[in-house]
Amino acid sequence: MEFKNKKSFLIRVGLGVSILCFLVIFLFIFFVSQKERQKDQTRTSDSDLIVERTSVFGDRVVPPTDSPNIFDTVSVEDRSQVESIFSEKDDPVASSNRSRLFQLFSGPVSGFSVKTELDKEKDALYLVQLVTRGIGDIYTIETSPYNIVKENSFSSTKIQDGLSLPNGSFVVSIEDDTNKLKSNGVLASQKENGLLSFTTLGENTSFVQKTDENKFFVLRKTNEGVVGFVVDRDSTTEKAFVWKNSFSSWRAFWGSNRNIFLQTAASELENGYFYRLNETGVLTKFFGPEQGLLVLHNESTNTSLVRNKLGLFLDKEQSKRLSIKIDTLPEKCIFAKKEIYCSVPRSLTIPTRSGNETLVPDSWYRGDVIYDDSFYKINTETTVVKKIDLNLDGEERSKIDLINPLLSKDEKFLFFQNKIDYSLWVLEL
C-alpha cells in the first residue's frame, strides 16, 4: 500500500514538473517572439521606403509613402544654380567652374518629358513635365527663370512605371492592393478645367511606348502571348492589332519614322533577337540570335549600338561592326547627331547583393546590382571615346545608376533618372 502511494506521488510530481517545464518553454517562446516582433516593427518603420518588388522588366521599385514636397528640397542656392546651368548668358568663367551635373527633382519619378523652346533673343526654355511614383503628383518645371509648379495629382498611392507624353498626358501602370504590379495601363489627360480624365488601356498591358503627341504603341499580354496595337490619345480608340506573337516578353521602341522596333527580353543565358515592325505588320529581323543581346538603334542613320556576351559594338547597316573601348548597357546611352552619350559603370560584373553569380543584364534588371556610372561620349564616325568632365572640383557626387536618358532638342542637356531612387537629373553637355 505504501509503495502504491509513493508511486502515485511520484507520478503526480512528474506530471507537475512536466506542466511546469511546458509553461516555462511557452513563456520563453512567447517572450522571444515578442522581442522579434518589436525588432521587426522597428525595422519596418525605418525601411518603409526600401520595399523591393519586381516590375514587368525587372526594374527595382521603391514606393514612396508620401508625396515629395519639392519646395523643401530646392534651396535658393539650388534654384540659382539651375538658372545658371540653363542660361546661355552666364559668365564664361563661372560656367567653367561650376558642376555640370545637377539633381532637378529629388522625389521618385514615374515618367517625364522635356519640351525645348528656342528663342534667338532669349535663353532657350526647357519645360519639364513629370509624374511622381506612388501618389502620382504632376509637376511642371521651367528653367529660365527657374520655376516649379504642382499642376495636378492622381491622388493615388499606386502609381509605378509611367510615361509623360509631350502634350501633357500620362500613361502609367497601377499597382493593386496586394502589392503586386498588376500592369494596368491608364491614360490620363488634363482637361481645360484642370481635372484629369482617365481611360483604361486594359489589364496585362505590359509596356507602353509613346510615338509623338497623338499616338502611342501598346503591348498587351494574352493567354496566347502578346499583341501590339496603336492608340490615338484623343479618341483612345484601339486600332487593329498590328502584330502578335506567342512569346510574351518584349520591349518596344518607336523609330524616327513609322517603324516600331521590338527586342526580346535580354538575358546573358539566352539568345536574343531585334526586329523592325512596320505599320502593315511586317516583321524584319535585324539581329540575332545572340546571347545577352541589347540594342540601341538610330533609324535615321541605320546605326546601332549593340552589346552581347563579347562586348560593346557600333554596328553600321547591319553589316559592319566596330568594337567600342568601353562597356555599358545600350539603354544607358542615347544617340545625338554625331555622337552617342553614355553612362558607363565602373564594372558590369560587380558582386551581387544576394551572393549569386552576376549575369549581365539579368542581375541589374532584378535589382541585385547597383552601378556607379561615369559619363562618356562616342564619336559615331571614328568610335573614339572621350570622358565627360563634370567639373566637380574634388567634391564627391551622388552615386548615379542612369536609366531613361532623354536629350534636349538642341542637344545641350541630357536629362535622366537615377535608378537608385528614381530622382530626376540633368547633365550639361
pLDDT digits (tens, 9 = 90+) for 356-371: 999 999 999 999 999 9
Geometric angle at alpha carbon 393, from 389 and 397, rounded to 5°: 75
Nearest to 212 by CA among 233, 193, 192: 233
Question: For residue 72, what are the CA distances in angstroms to 105, 136, 148, 149, 354?
Answer: 11, 18, 12, 13, 36
Q: What is the pLDDT of residues 134-184, one digit of tens each?
A: 888 888 888 777 788 888 777 765 777 766 665 556 667 666 554 444 445
CA distance 208 to 135: 20
The DSSP annotation for 83-106 comes to HHHH-TTS-HHHHHHS-SEEEEE-
For residue range 25-72, what is the model confidence (pLDDT) as tens digits?
A: 767 666 655 554 444 433 332 222 222 222 222 232 233 333 333 333
Residue whose entry in the numeric block shows the C-alpha cell 527633382: 105
List strands edge to edge, sheet with 413-418.
101-105, 424-428, 413-418, 402-407
Q: Is 191 exposed, middle or buried (CB count within 10 Å of its CB: 0-12, 13-18, 19+)?
A: exposed
Residue 285: count other Cβ atoms within 10 Å of its Cβ: 11
- CB count in 10 Å sphere of residue 198: 12
Q: Degrees (nearest 5) of the Cα angle 260, 271, 416?
A: 50
Q: Quick: pLDDT tens for 268-325.
A: 999 999 999 887 888 899 999 999 999 999 998 999 999 999 999 999 988 889 999 9
